[in-house]
Structure 1
Amino acid sequence: MEKHKEHISKATEILSNGGLLLYPTDTVWGIGCDATNETAVQKVYALKNRDDSKALVCLVAHQAMLERYVKQVPDVAYDIMDFATKPTTIVFDEPIGIAKNLIAEDNTLAIRVASDVFCQRMIQKFGKPIVSTSANISGEPTPTNYESISPKILKGVDYVVNLPLENKNAPPSSIIKLSNDGQVKVIRE
């Protein structure tokens, strides 16, 4: 836990200054930044060589934080989060207070409540959502361990949270789209 504190302190400092992190998420190694900072988000797109029309995922620390960044959280979202057996990302309509270049053209945003302790504590201390995208160049395979992360990614971030993934070999999260009109669509199981 002492190691967590050091990393959380440094990571939140980097996030506050618009920098990029490489960190272990509840699924894979991720690249992150302040999800409310348009310039920081643009750095993530540039590092990944990714078209900014391809939306990125945000992580929040808990459901109360989620409610601050989505105009209306459908009731079914709480059931999905409470009963999911693996990390689940939900695409919500009408995000608020988020960097414009994170929001998809249809005014939606993919958000996941972090399920691992380190991410929850880091995001809680930072006080805002953070970007979570796999630590790879767009089109390349998602690295399954730290050793397979591209040198370009390692050099392109401002800080590496050198902690092990809690769930080694965890699959990417499920993705479910919830529309305010009640429609539910499974995008990735």
Structure 2
Amino acid sequence: MMPTPRDTAFLLRQGKLIGLADETGWSVAADPISDAAVERLLQLHQHTPGSLPLTVLIDKADHLGMYVQKVPEVAWDIVEFAENPLLVWYEQGKNLSPVLLNQQATVAVRRVLSTEVQRLINSFGRGLLTLPFEAASLPPAAAEQTAGTYGTPATSLRKPRIMRLGFNGEIEFIRK
């Protein structure tokens, strides 16, 4: 039986790590303001080859302002109308654990397209900090660190496009 968004949100609020499946594959999710959970996620990131940078998942473009210090005007439309997974790097993050903000000046944000994961984020009340693997299964080291899983992996995984967006709207594609 799949856990409910409410049950999973409870685990996240307790500082637990969760295996999360969406349109891009599996990742490990944590509460982005829990210092202990973010530390565990950073340690997992250091010990898991092939993992991508930590990413904040949001359920709608309106939540960009919660995690980005200065949102360029063009970002709202880019994020809102993306029909495929799109990860955007912004210059400065906010409302994240100081453990993370002290380690990196930029913040990666992706609006999740999976309605199932959107419901979880909505139930949780804020975005999720994730360590994405873009894989059909969680690596064993990551699976050992999670208190459960949530979401259904897509039948065909879609790697997100990755772009960097500067304060003044400068755009640089890292992965198309």
The alignment status of 1:174 with 2:161, answered yes or no, reads yes
- Please show how residues 28-47 of structure 1 align to structure 2 within 5 Å: 28-47=25-44
Q: Deviations over 1:142-174 (max 9, x none)?
A: 532x3xx3333222111122x421x32222211
In the alignment, which residue of structure 1 is the partner of 2:71? 73
TM-score (structure 2 length as normaliser): 0.86
Distance 1:153 1:69 in 2: 25
- Please show how residues 135-150 of structure 1 align to structure 2 within 5 Å: 135=133, 142-144=134-136, 146=137, 149-150=138-139
Residues 178 and 45 of structure 1: CA distance in aligned 2, closer, same or farther (over 3 Å): same
Letter matched to residue 33 of structure 1: A
In the alignment, which residue of structure 2 is the partner of 1:62? 60
- Matched pairs, number: 173
Distance 1:11 1:131 in 2: 14
In the alignment, structure 2 segments of 5+ residues that lack a partner are none
CA RMSD in angstroms, aligned pairs only = 2.3
Letter matched to residue 151 of structure 1: P
Runs (4+) off by over 4 Å: none
Q: Deviations over 1:42-88 (max 9, x none)?
A: 1112234159xx84111012122222222221121122223323110
In the alignment, which residue of structure 2 is the partner of 1:114? 112
Distance 1:123 1:183 in 2: 29
* Corresponding residue SS for 2:90: strand
In the alignment, which residue of structure 2 is the partner of 1:138? none
TM-score (structure 1 length as normaliser): 0.80
In the alignment, which residue of structure 2 is the partner of 1:128? 126
Residues 164 and 50 of structure 1: CA distance in aligned 2, closer, same or farther (over 3 Å): closer
- How far apart are 1:104 and its partner, in Å? 7.7
In the alignment, which residue of structure 2 is the partner of 1:98? 96
Residues 92 and 50 of structure 1: CA distance in aligned 2, closer, same or farther (over 3 Å): same
The alignment status of 1:164 with 2:172, answered yes or no, reads no
Letter matched to residue 26 of structure 2: W
In the alignment, which residue of structure 1 is the partner of 2:22? 25
* Corresponding residue SS for 2:167: coil
Residues 50 and 151 of structure 1: CA distance in aligned 2, closer, same or farther (over 3 Å): closer
Distance 2:91 2:103 in 1: 11
- How far apart are 1:89 and its partner, in Å? 1.0
Letter matched to residue 152 of structure 2: P
Distance 2:105 2:35 in 1: 16
Distance 1:90 1:143 in 2: 20
In the alignment, structure 1 segments of 5+ residues that lack a partner are 136-141
- How far apart are 1:105 and its partner, in Å? 5.6
Residues 83 and 61 of structure 1: CA distance in aligned 2, closer, same or farther (over 3 Å): closer
- Identity over aligned residues, as a percent? 22
